[in-house]
A and B are shown apart, each in its own frame.
Chain A
């Protein structure tokens, strides 16, 4: 079982719709959870992170964390073509002094006009 799992996609949504990206993780001791966006040929950039159960909102983005189910998701409201990218879920555990992140392989999102 992979430590951090994401559906590779592509996930296609129409412009203006809500995109829902999901991630599961195996280590129950995981502390913090991150969503990065990566455009083709570019490096990952942080969208947001969450460490408490529940929802965290930042503009059009909402991260949701359910530690009991070991599940974290990212909702993108009013999806735009510029949101088309690969979204990486990353999890911080206790290994490496708590400094390491383990990344999923990413979900490709396509927002169609």
Chain B
């Protein structure tokens, strides 16, 4: 089974703190993704990476950065957390399969910024 592991299920941080969200996958997937999910807005892509040290902006990259130093690990960084970054953060990874691009999700990190 594919396993995508996010380091924390719940996180509480203060405004202005630097926050690291970690994601590890064990299936040797090339692609990794960070989303945030908010009620009524669905899943929105923040950043993704298709190879080590490679990254591309998603739809809402402002206020976030990412790091991919190893193939299995993809980190999301909030340089200076703000209250509007309170959300559920989901990491996913994928490979190419039969014309599809199946993304497998981690359990999610619910971040509260106070």
Contact of A101 among B56, B98, B103, B107 (CB under 8 A): B103
Check A32–B101 contact: CB distance below 8 A: yes
A interface secondary structure, majority: mixed
Bits for A20-31, please: 1 = Cβ < 8 Å to B, else 0.
000000000001
Give the complex CA separation of A63 and B43 in angstroms: 21
A residues 61-113 with Cβ under 8 Å of B?
88, 90, 92, 96-106
The listed residue with most B CB atoms (<10 A of its CB), out of A44, A88, A98, is: A44
Give the complex CA separation of A34 and B106 in angstroms: 17
Say whether B75 faces chain A, with CB atoms less than 8 Å apart: no
Contact of B42 among A32, A42, A88, A97 (CB under 8 A): A88
The bracket for how many chain B residues form the interface is 20 to 34
Check B50–A97 contact: CB distance below 8 A: yes
CB distance from A8 to the nearest CB of B (A): 8
Given A88-B42, A96-B48, A100-B48: A43 and B100 interface contact (C-beta under 8 Å): no
Q: Identify 15 residue pairs between A and B in the complex whose beta-carbon atoms are under 8 Å apart, listed by A's number.
A: A8-B40, A34-B102, A34-B103, A42-B108, A43-B90, A44-B90, A44-B105, A46-B103, A51-B98, A51-B99, A97-B50, A100-B45, A100-B58, A101-B101, A105-B40
